[in-house]
Amino acid sequence: MGKPTGFLEFTRSENKHRSIDERIKDFNELYMSQNESVRKEQAARCMNCGVPFCQSAIELKGMVTGCPLHNLIPEWNDEIYQDNIAHALNRLRKTNPFPEFTGRVCPALCEKACINGIDGDPVCVHDNEKYIIESAFEQGLITPRIPVVRSNKRVAIIGAGPSGLALADALNQRGHSVCVFEREEDAGGLLMYGIPNMKLDKKIIKRRIKLMKKEGVQFHMNTNIGEDLSFEELKQNFDAIALCVGAKKPRSIVDFDKTIDGMEYAVDFLSEITKRLMIDLPLPDFSGKKIVIVGGGDTGNDCCATVVRLGCTDVVELEMLPEPPISRLENNPWPEWPKVKKTDYGQEEVHFVQEHDPRVYKTTIESIDVEEDVIKAVHTCQVNMTENGPQKIEGSEQILTCDLLLVAAGFVGVEDTIREETNLEMTRRNTFRTLPMKYRCADQIFAAGDARRGQSLVVWAIHEGLECAKEIDEFLMGYSNMD
């Protein structure tokens, strides 16, 4: 514990975002440069609890609080305060192979379980994590770790998202030969194509992929399993196969039709904008457009931020659930996940340009108006959530003019093409079936990440990849010394 009185002396100070009027003019990262002295003070707020809930990942009332990776948070906070980035990096990499990702996009389950949050503000764990890894890169502490001894085992990983990358990194460090097959042009999965550049600069992902290539991981891009390469060929040429294909089949809504001009799934929309930015193609102009977004989660928020940068000043974001309370209710005590209202960066930006919150709660779409295959309006109604699902509130119908409808209503499992190609047993959630807490689907076939767990967070995808790596290693070698 760097400073026993730190939590009494220093108040919480998060990394600042660039001003709204500045950042909505570009797609550059939100965050301002980190301040070393501030980060040391924030690290000093860590109390080094006897039982650190921040690294526990315990489930309470069906929701997890604490870090799924079991990051050694008190240890590396102490090292930050002691001005020893090398030691902090050592403790951080013990559990997390990609802190530059989680330090930007993780919702910080660790902070929700910080004991300082009982009657005050939690430690800035999320920002401190990013500070360690970026300081390490700046100081030249991150160099390729090339395995000295190689096994004669070959592993194919389908999908280069966070679970596939974590799995590839772990097995490569163990000494196995790893080939990652990805249908897109660049690795990263939803990190690359689903999360906008302002939240996760794509240079950060490419920096990590470049490092992994130097360490021996092979990447085969633009390779679609089932078209460019069959699943049977992989089974013949590799000792083990891991399915890390995500759960990218989007949840549809009433009357959704891709052929209608002005209707898009959010993940497709965000992916297209990212691809245009990466190859410097012209971006669409949404000035004067009326945009309706279905879904109030992270993806809906990212859509808010993106359309604002494209010139839109008229956004409505529909959320089926009721508006959450501003602060914890008595029946939602620490260290449970706080069920409180969160206003994220994109919603702040929409509020700035149109002078009111875009979110409308307890509301869903009943139908749409289309003229000559072009969307013109959406019909909405309010709902009450019951045990049997949403129930319409009669007399609450409204009509909203709409030039673009973005559906960010979540996902419903593995895409049909890869499910049909593998012909494996699926769960009711349309994910690959494994035994509970296990990752093996069939003889030499494993699954990890959203493809096994269902739609979840990046930090859970990384956790899944690391745990799956241990199981594959034991399958290949008859034992595993991976900790």
Structure tokens at 435: 């035994």
The reported pLDDT for the residue numbered 210 is: 98
Calculate helix-pair angle for 345-354, 298-309, nearest 10 degrees: 40
Distances (CA, A) of 183 to 157, 243, 264, 344: 12, 13, 21, 31
Residue type, 99: P
The reported pLDDT for the residue numbered 258 is: 78
Edge-to-edge strands, sheet with 263-265: 263-265, 404-407, 291-294, 315-318, 359-360
Of 462, 442, 438, which is closest to residue 452 (Cα–Cα)? 438
In percent, the amount of the chain with pLDDT more than 90 equals 93
Is the Cα torsion angle 59, 63, 68, 70 positive or negative in sign? negative
Neighbouring residues of 154: CB distance < 8 A, sequence distance ≥ 6: 176, 177, 178, 179, 237, 238, 239, 240
Give burial (CB, 10 Å; 0-12/13-18/19+) of 146.
exposed
Query: DSSP code of 284?
Result: P
126, pLDDT greater than 80: yes
65, pLDDT greater than 90: yes
The reported pLDDT for the residue numbered 309 is: 98
Edge-to-edge strands, sheet with 240-243: 218-220, 177-181, 154-158, 240-243, 445-447, 440-442
Contact 380, 367 (CB under 8 A): no
254, pLDDT greater than 80: no
- Residues β-bridged to residue 229: 225
367, pLDDT greater than 80: yes
pLDDT band at 3 (very low <50, low <70, confident <90, very high): confident
pLDDT band at 59 (very low <50, low <70, confident <90, very high): very high
The reported pLDDT for the residue numbered 336 is: 92
Distances (CA, A) of 319 to 302, 380, 404, 456, 459: 15, 11, 17, 19, 25
Is the Cα torsion angle 183, 188, 190, 196 positive or negative in sign? negative
Angle at 190 between CA 66 and CA 377, to 5 degrees: 105
Radius of gyration, CA atoms only, the chain: 23
What is the rounded distance in angstroms from the CA atom of residue 425 to the CA atom of residue 117?
43
Residue 274 host element (H or E): helix 266-278
What is the rounded distance in angstroms from the CA atom of residue 282 to the CA atom of residue 358?
27
Structure tokens at 151: 């096994």
Query: DSSP code of 288?
Result: T
Of 52, 39, 42, which is closest to residue 113 (Cα–Cα)? 52
Find the mean pLDDT for residues 322-333: 94
The reported pLDDT for the residue numbered 483 is: 77
pLDDT digits 0-9 by tens, 22-35: 999 999 999 988 78
Of 449, 425, 438, 432, which is closest to residue 472 (Cα–Cα)? 438
Find the mean pLDDT for residues 131-155: 97
3-class state of residue 231 by DSSP: helix
pLDDT digits 0-9 by tens, 346-366: 999 999 999 999 999 999 999
2, pLDDT greater than 90: no
